[in-house]
Amino acid sequence: MLKKISLLALLISLNATASSRATGDLGVVIERESHSALIINTTTHEQLAKIEDLGDLSHASVVFSRDQRYAYVFGRDGGLTKIDLIEDEVANRIIQAGNSIGGAISQDGKLIAVSNYTPGGVKVFSADTLELVADIPAEYAPGQLSKVVGLVDAPGQRFVFSLFDAGEIWVLNLQDPNKPGLTKYKNIGKQPYDALLTPEGRYYVAGLFGEGGMAMLDLWQPELGVKRILPNYIKDDEKLPVYKMPHLEGWTVAGDYIFAPAIGKHEVLVIDKHTWQLHKAIPVAGQPVFVMARPDARQVWVNFAYPDNSKLQLIDTQNFKITHTLTPGKAVLHMEFTPRGEQVWVAVRDDNQLVIYDTNTLHEITRLPADKPNGIFFSARAHKIGL
């Protein structure tokens, strides 16, 4: 009898092992036109599942639970979807606003914040149940709500975001979710359109669309207020038509320098992170959208807006020179490095493909089919600040 019980326990154990899945090498690829998302394995280069009926994904972004089991998808239609990466299913889904532009997960992984255009503001939800925890209207004048952009998580259980219409930066403190604390910084510049947070969570930098330069807030010394940086870099008459807004979220730090896309110019800006002065402007093949460093910061990869969006360029972070130009296909929209940077996945929308490169040799490893792929998000993001 004992032997039979032991055998049964062994069979149950083997079955459980066979059906289990580790989550550290998983990722989500957005297929925006089919309103779906692929769950992929970055080690085996395979599609594991397709999750459908996710609404408008035209500007979708994704964050992950700290255990990397759940992906939270922010849809443009105000949809917030919690996907179970082990069970390959939607765990929960709500429509929380009319027009949404991304979100973030709190330092402790318990709160999900969403930035909204309509109605303007930030809503915060329980990561477990998606129940509303806090509603922060972006009211900057009586009866006037601003579109919210550049929402990031910051240490100290905070969220930082910018008000596009008001030209303000707000810091939301949720150490006590029942008593949200809100600090507002006004007159930071015209039309902040996106923002970045340095990897240690200290500096929040908002790009300005309505005027030259950027606005920087030191979260270690918030009492100093917002400082303007690079205010005279681009004169209005030097700007080209902007075909796609650059994503400061795709900026990067490499050594002592910050690499960021220039708005309305064919340049990548190299900024000294100690002085916040422009060190160099690197001419590139088009208007840069994402400027992303390999995790070891040895290379910076750049993609571009139309009509140059079939190209990728690589920058050497020691000499600030273009080393390679790649042409993965039509309409390169997004890139994502594996956690240690040995590979990069590239979304090529108009060829309906994901292209995977070896970042050392630059050889193409393989291509995977995907329906108009847009964003690529790996579960390792769960352990990074400001994403």
pLDDT tens per residue across span 2-31: 444 454 444 444 444 335 789 999 999 999
Angle, vertex CA 295, rays to CA 294 and CA 298, nearest 5:
55
For residue 48, give every residue at least 6 positions away whose Cβ sits within 8 Å of its Cβ, in sequence order, or none: 21, 26, 38, 39, 40, 41, 88
Model pLDDT, residue 10: 45
pTM: 0.92
Residues of the chain with pLDDT under 70: 1-19, 234-247, 249-250
The residue to which tokens 């992170």 are assigned: 273
The Cα 148–Cα 97 span in angstroms is: 12
Q: Cα–Cα distances in Å, from 249 out to 61, 197, 221?
A: 11, 8, 22
Distances in whole angstroms, Cα of residue 238 to Cα of each of 158, 225, 245, 279: 37, 30, 16, 19
Short-list 209, 216, 218, CA closest to 244: 209
Tell me what pLDDT residue 11 has: 44
Q: Which of 145, 83, 87 is nearest to 116 (CA)?
A: 145
> What tokens were used for 340?
């240690």
158 and 108 Cβ atoms separated by less than 8 Å: no
| Token pair for 240 | 């080209």
In tens, the pLDDT along 259-276 reads 999 888 899 999 998 999
At residue 240, the pLDDT reads 55
Q: What share of the chain is helix, strand, coil (3-state, %, to 5)?
A: 10, 50, 40
Q: Cα angle at 100 between 94 and 102, to 5 degrees?
A: 95
Give the pLDDT confidence score for residue 14 in this predicted structure: 41
* pLDDT, position 329: 97
